[in-house]
Structure 1
């Protein structure tokens, strides 16, 4: 197996292509990573900046450089001894627009399309207007308004002789069964003749081939006579004339889709989306034919040695993640001698672990990001900060309570269609059984809603339609909470839904009775010589199992997006005790972790998934790794932080909007107390280390970045504005407040106060960042470096965290000087870059040491023991001791991120028995350390030059 030594994540798009990555190859080699790890490479919607809206799984994106560009990059990587891992998106595709051939085909042919089962479409919607149709919720206003305005137009594509309806960038094909009527609508002889082959067409597969042949004649006619005759057809359906508009409407009513206002999707969409994004449709990759079609390119690239592994995006969106991972590995393994490297994007709840029976190397690293992030927080700050936030928010609600409220809102306002799909699947099961046929849809709907609201993890993973003990551990929590919330009359429904959602297989006695009845019916039909062909005796059992598994999948595909939307996209923007804990994969109520907790997590990862990715920054993070590291310092200084908040709020009160109203209705001013407090945290976290408050251009650039974050944060909070119904006046007032408080004339007021506070916490924040970087590069697992974060990463949520990277700046900063030599100038971040390079060099020097080596927590003794963390790694004769400073805000003197040597006093690391290493070489300072007579390493020596140290019996090659 090709296990990466370290990966570097690159966000590819038309502004940064394969060739652009290739141009930086020398830098990547010098940095020391072993594999590039890219965002999706398949063809996405034109202009996509992320690649997650795939429209063609079978081709490499031309915007990125096409397959030739990909192969050029891979070849050069292999020449340099490196590899390539790609992100794949099996869960969803980009729809709408005009570029997804699969989606266009189902719009054209409906449920008889060759791709009708490629997407999770409910072709049997209870809504008569959607039966056999696909909802297309892409209109900017209501259907009638857009139709009357002439923005929905009938058009003709002369390149392949197709009629289609155009709306902005969206192209919806007209079914060929209507071509005869269209061509005959103008009573022109030439067109009447062309209409003949289209007469009597149906949507059946054989007639689809007839339509293809008929189109060829139409295409030949257009190539010979031009499109002028066709233009008469289009005019007959032009929307300006009421009669023509009505004709167009009737034509649209006959299609296999229903054009609709985008807001209808929340309630009526009849296909599975990615979360609540109506431009991304769920793919049924659990079907064998779909799986093969989705992965055909991946298999070919892996077989050809172009790629070495994959990162599976949003694995929890799949019907059966375990089965998917098994199938993926089974298909990849025979293609090459080297085994594939597979990691999955999986968000683990507090206390949850990745399942042992998934044949993958581990997760993409959000769990590690949470572990190390929590380690940086002082548990003593949790309650004081909670008190401060309660005073601002006017409530002492925990994050769990805030999240539960968010779940209710998201389920009711954003995912009600998904709830409906799951409830209807269960109600269908109820109707098919005599014992439960009187369970009403409303009672099942209420029950499913309560289960989803209280589900403690993203989802469960039943095997063969049955929940296992671990699934029950989580399901029982939701069931017990639902029982308390539901009326007594619904408890029988709850117990039955519990059974249908994997609690047990369909009842054997009931199935036996059903089988007997089925045989009796079959015999009677045979006697009557009806000619009806019946299924085998076990058909009802098969049907029951299929129905139960369908319901299970739909329920899991509801709980996963609900958990994500409620936490990451809502509650994280409502709860502001300390924003550094409001991160993907984290639980803000799990405020801090001890050193022992961190060691336990590392040892567990080494035991179960030793090759999982370790990350501290991603393309989806809410705040950059160094933004979070700085904000964590506030947990050590809650009193100072509370005083600063009060002072800044008073100082900036004149800049609030609608403050006169606020005197009557407290909290109605803009931005409001909670949004204002979160804004101050954000400014403290992302203020650049080298920004002078007098630098008008620099402050303005920062304000513009924060304004993007602010707009997203306000809408995600869904309190005074949201994405569905934006309050643009409130949003404008909030932006004006932001630009006012950062205006040049505030230099001697708020700007100086803000910069002064940042100066107070920035050294401790930098120390946290260096510790975080060191732990990521030395803990069990594969360290992942997100593009550009070799230097300070004070980014915010996307698109801020996907800004272009100045690789030239980073390449110019590479040299052989030890990180310790760069610490005095820590603000330029070269010390961080130097740590990354040195520790990647250590991983290259002895790959097995930090990849396979044993992990041993080390005891720290002395007065400041709680301010240090230490562990050892050993593989054969090679060993290393990793030491770091933590919770140092009150220990740092001056502006360097370093605790003075004398402050450590008697604090020392106790080395394991038998570790008689004559000399320890510090890879971060080039110093040589020696253990004292008690086989301990005094921190006054080990941490004299740097806040972190990596000591090894392996000397650097040139040392």
Structure 2
């Protein structure tokens, strides 16, 4: 297997192509990267900036440079002995435009489409208006309103000889079965002759080739006679006239889709989406033919040696993640002799293991990002910060309260259709048994709501219809919560649902007499009890996973503001801090179970850049001071508040209500955001720089307010309130306040900036030296003060990085004095990656040994050793050091004398040996008692990587 030493994540789009990346390969190699890690490379919706809305799995994106451009990039990588890992998206495709041929085919032919079973469509909806149809919630207003306004019309595509319903940029194919009636409506002999070719067509697959031939004849006719001939046909369906508009409506009603207002999606959509996004349709990759179609290009690229590994997006969206990983590994192993490197995007709860029977190399690193982030926080700050948050905002001090409320809201308003589908699956099981047939749909839905509301992780993974012991750890928590929430009259139904969802195989109902499998029509109820239960289990998992994502990451994390550095993808904001011992335990487990898992601290999905989080973590060490600062700033900026309608107000009552913009919670989170992302070199009197920052924060603020779904939302935006919030932001950052709030803000950032930089260097070294494969996100080689997307996907200044990289022999400590420009971080990354190249087995396979620290400031240090054979590396980092940073220096460094008697108990093999620091000129010596004094080890840098050998000289 080609295991990376290190990876660099790049986001490709039409503004940053394969050729753009190829021109930077030498820079990446100089940094020490072994593999580029690319965002999805298949063809996405035109103009996509992320690639997760694939419309064609079979083609490399032409916008990125096509397959030829990809090969040029790989050639450049191979010239530097580098490889390529690509992100693949097997769970969903983009269906929001007119570029997805698979989707258009099912709109045209319905359940008899070649691709009807490629998508997770419920063709047997209980709604008669949707049976055999696909709901298309794309209209900007109600169907009747849009039809009457003439915004929906019949059109003809001459290049394909196709009629389609058009709405803005959207294309909805008309079924060829209706072509005969359409052409005859013009009452012209030549068109009637063409209509005859379509007479008697059905949607059956056997008739579809004849339809294609008839369309070719129609296309040739239009080419010969001109498009004006077809205008006669279109006029008979013109939406402007009531008579022809009614004919258009009746034509639309006969199609295999139902056009609807976008607001109907949450309640009525009859196909599985990615989360609640109605422009992304889920793919049934568990079907063998779909699996092969989805992966055909990637398999070929892997076989040809262009691709070395895969990152699997949203593994929890798949029906059977275990089986998917096993099938993927088997197919890849058949294509090349070397085993592929495969990691999965998986959000793990605290204590939740990645399953050993998934043949993958680990996760993409959210679990490590959570651990190293929590390590930066002082547990003593948890209670006072929570108390301050509750007092200022009137909201709960507990994240769990916000999470449960958010789950209920998302179920009711965003995932109601998905909830109904899962409840119907349970209801079908109940109806199959005499003992349970009186459990009503409403009762089962109520039970299901409580189970998923209290389910503590993304999903379960039953095998052969039964939950594992690992699954039951979390399912029992959901059961306990449901029992406490449900009336006793529902407990009997709850216990049966528990059994059906994998708790037991007892009392399984027999198959219904005469039941026939309708699976061939796509999504029909399974034919026997075991299949019915497995279907219900899958639907439960495909409900609990998006609910967790939408309710926790995309709602509660925007409502709860104890400390925003813990509100991150893959983290539990209710878990405030992690001890050194807990961090070591996580590293030891990873070293044993998944030694090649990715280690990341920044991703394309992060809500705040890694250095924003590192700086905000400092507030946990000065919780009382921060609470006083919040109150002072709120009082200072009260004149800038706006009424809920956005108009200025002079004073506001102190009743803790949100009857003003932005409101106490949003205001408190705004101050944290400003503190976190304020650039180190920005001055309060830099009007242009402050305005640029304000624009970035305003973009974050709008997203945060809508994601919180309190005063405004994506579904029902309150534009007046949003405008008031924006005015408040720009008001407090206005140039005339450079001697007021702006001065205080910049001074506070200066006050904690050094400690934030120290935290950043700590998490950087831990990522580079812990068991696993360090992953860098584009641009984070320097300070990363980005906010949530699209801010974290801004263009990267590669030129500066290229200019600073050549000085490989200059120790990072030489750049500490100018730490604000971020060059010290770049140097640390380059130097430790050089160590990974110099002694690759040491940090990739070496034993992980936690080291004990003793002395007065032992709690402010983390240390461990890596050993492989006779080679050793000792990694040391300052932590929770705000109180140790003196005022006599501007450096993010604890003065050596401050460490006093603090020392590390070194392994016996290193006793009385001189060690060399790869990050500074220091050469501390282990004394005769086996102790390494921190005043020696961290004299020049807040972090150290000690070796018996010095840095190799070129």
Distance apart, 1:916 and its partner CA: 4.2
Q: Is the 8 A contact 1:661 1:669 kept in 2?
A: no
Q: Distance in 2 between matches of 1:913 and 1:152?
A: 79
Residue of structure 2 in register with 1:14 after alignment: 14
Residue of structure 2 in register with 1:608 after alignment: 593
Q: Distance in 2 between matches of 1:355 and 1:392?
A: 42
Residue of structure 1 in register with 2:88 after alignment: 88
Residue of structure 1 in register with 2:611 after alignment: 626
Per-residue Cα deviation, 1:357-398 (whole angstroms, up to 9, x for no partner): 111000000000010001000011111111111111214441
- Of 663, 683, 694, the match for 2:653: 663
Per-residue Cα deviation, 1:125-156 (whole angstroms, up to 9, x for no partner): 11111010000000011111110111111100
Larger mean CA deviation between 444-453 and 677-686 belongs to 444-453
Residue of structure 2 in register with 1:583 after alignment: 568
Confirm whether residue 920 of structure 1 aligns to residue 905 of structure 2. Answer: no
Residue of structure 2 in register with 1:867 after alignment: 860
Q: Distance in 2 between matches of 1:375 and 1:293?
A: 44
Q: Distance in 2 between matches of 1:916 and 1:214?
A: 86
Q: Distance in 2 between matches of 1:933 and 1:661?
A: 68
Q: Is the 8 A contact 2:638 2:651 kept in 1?
A: no
Q: Distance in 1 between matches of 2:104 and 2:658?
A: 49
TM-score (norm 2): 0.97
Per-residue Cα deviation, 1:675-725 (whole angstroms, up to 9, x for no partner): 001000000000000001110000000000000000000001110000100
Distance apart, 1:235 and its partner CA: 1.0
Confirm whether residue 136 of structure 1 aligns to residue 136 of structure 2. Answer: yes
Q: Is the 8 A contact 2:680 2:820 kept in 1?
A: yes
Q: Is the 8 A contact 1:316 1:346 kept in 2?
A: yes
Q: Is the 8 A contact 1:96 1:171 kept in 2?
A: no
Residue of structure 1 in register with 2:646 after alignment: none
Give the match's secondary structure for 1:166.
strand
Distance apart, 1:221 and its partner CA: 0.9
Confirm whether residue 840 of structure 1 aligns to residue 833 of structure 2. Answer: yes
Q: Is the 8 A contact 2:157 2:164 kept in 1?
A: yes
Distance apart, 1:350 and its partner CA: 2.0
Residue of structure 2 in register with 1:947 after alignment: 942
Q: Distance in 2 between matches of 1:166 and 1:386?
A: 53
Q: Is the 8 A contact 1:506 1:541 kept in 2?
A: no
Residue of structure 1 in register with 2:899 after alignment: 904
Per-residue Cα deviation, 1:813-871 (whole angstroms, up to 9, x for no partner): 11121110000000010000000000000000000000000000011111111110100
Confirm whether residue 786 of structure 1 aligns to residue 777 of structure 2. Answer: yes
> How does 1:618-697 map onto structure 2 within 5 Å?
618-658=603-643, 659=649, 662-663=652-653, 666-697=657-688
Q: 1:175 to 1:661 in 2, by over 3 A?
A: farther
Distance apart, 1:505 and its partner CA: 3.0
Q: Is the 8 A contact 2:387 2:397 kept in 1?
A: no
Q: Distance in 1 between matches of 2:403 and 2:450?
A: 14
Q: Is the 8 A contact 1:777 1:839 kept in 2?
A: yes
Per-residue Cα deviation, 1:304-327 (whole angstroms, up to 9, x for no partner): 000001000000000011111111
Residue of structure 2 in register with 1:528 after alignment: none
Give the match's secondary structure for 2:437.
coil
Distance apart, 1:424 and its partner CA: 0.7
Distance apart, 1:217 and its partner CA: 1.1
Residue of structure 1 in register with 2:405 after alignment: 405
Q: Is the 8 A contact 1:143 1:260 kept in 2?
A: yes
TM-score (norm 1): 0.96
- Of 733, 743, 763, the match for 2:724: 733
Distance apart, 1:303 and its partner CA: 0.5
Distance apart, 1:917 and its partner CA: 6.7
Residue of structure 2 in register with 1:527 after alignment: none
Q: Provide the alpha-carbon RMSD of the alignment.
A: 1.7
Per-residue Cα deviation, 1:250-281 (whole angstroms, up to 9, x for no partner): 00000000000000000000000000000000
Distance apart, 1:543 and its partner CA: 2.1
Q: Is the 8 A contact 2:911 2:928 kept in 1?
A: no
Q: Distance in 1 between matches of 2:70 and 2:233?
A: 45
Q: 1:916 to 1:557 in 2, by over 3 A?
A: same
> How does 1:490-529 map onto structure 2 within 5 Å?
490-505=490-505, 507=507, 510-511=509-510
Q: Is the 8 A contact 1:506 1:545 kept in 2?
A: no
Distance apart, 1:661 and its partner CA: 8.1
User: Where does structure 2 lack aligned partners over 5 or more consecutive residues?
Assistant: 644-648
Q: Distance in 1 between matches of 2:652 and 2:686?
A: 33
Distance apart, 1:662 and its partner CA: 4.0
Residue of structure 1 in register with 2:99 after alignment: 99
Q: Distance in 2 between matches of 1:53 and 1:490?
A: 41
Distance apart, 1:433 and its partner CA: 2.4
Q: 1:747 to 1:661 in 2, by over 3 A?
A: closer
Give the match's secondary structure for 1:437.
coil
Confirm whether residue 549 of structure 1 aligns to residue 529 of structure 2. Answer: no
User: Where does structure 1 lack aligned partners over 5 or more consecutive residues?
Assistant: 523-531
Give the match's secondary structure for 2:864.
strand
Q: 1:112 to 1:760 in 2, by over 3 A?
A: same
Distance apart, 1:489 and its partner CA: 2.1
Per-residue Cα deviation, 1:188-247 (whole angstroms, up to 9, x for no partner): 011000001101111000111110111111111112111111111111111111111111
